[in-house]
Amino acid sequence: EIVLTQSPATLSLSPGERATLSCRASQSVSSYLAWYQQKPGQAPRLLVYDASNRATDIPARFSGSGSGTDFTLTISSLEPEDFAVYYCQQRSNWPLTFGGGTKVEIK
Amino acid sequence: EVQLLESGGGLVQPGGSLRLSCAASGFTFNNYAMSWVRQAPGKGLEWVSAIGGSGGRIYYADSVKGRFTISRDNSKNTLYLQMNSLRAEDTAVYYCANATGAYFNYWGQGTLVTVSS
């Protein structure tokens, strides 16, 4: 099973700041990695797939990068609605796995 | 508009069984793989099971293999999860999700399963 490790666990930032979230895989997943956003009481929402492709209707301030074992989700300038928990997920191998999440909170 | 509506959650005793359903609309159901993903209270996401569009390819997480069975009825646009031998650690919100390339594009609102005596 591929283990995804996300860091940091919590990121405390102010609106307008840049957020950089990391996801590291225990073995190469090529570019088969996605990012999701989840707000309290809501289902997750797909943000990025195949490491760097934004999903439909996702704002351009969200960008993904990386390949192999190291991936980054960048939010260029945080909007109030971006404070949430973010998860990465790999589809390279079964079973599908998620990272433990990074909470982006208001500083 | 894509809609996924889960039902069937509730309180069940350890060792008991429950069947979840997910009614889908707004897309051609049999063209898409579907998955169940769960989230224990205050915890992260855990993929549970997946089934191909025709029902021919099925996968399970090790944590549920042999206890849970995923199925679908394409004539009813409905996904199912039969859960047997339930344990306390199966307590979670269960989401059904539409999958494209094993990424989850659309999610239902979730149904809560509580396993407790």
pLDDT at site B100: 85
Q: Closest-CA residue in chain A for B100?
A: A49
Question: Residues A2-21: pLDDT tens digits?
Answer: 999 999 999 999 999 999 99
Encode chain B (117 residues) as per-residue pLDDT tens digits: 999 999 999 999 999 999 999 999 999 999 999 999 999 999 999 999 999 999 989 999 999 999 999 999 999 999 999 999 999 999 999 999 998 888 999 999 999 999 999
Report angle CA B97, B42, A95 to the nearest 5 degrees: 45
Rounded distance between C-alpha atoms, residue A51 and residue A29, angstroms: 10
Identify which of B47, B107, B109 has the shortest CB distance to residue A95: B47
Question: Residues A72-105: pLDDT tens digits?
Answer: 999 999 999 999 999 999 999 999 999 999 999 9
Amino acid at residue number A6? Q
Q: How far is CA B46 from the centre of its chain?
A: 11
Minimal C-alpha gap between B95 and chain A (Å): 8
**Sequence-ordered list of residues with C-beta below 8 angstroms from that of B89, at least 6 positions apart, any chain:** B40, B63, B115
pLDDT band for position A49 (50/70/90)?
A: very high
pLDDT at site A19: 98
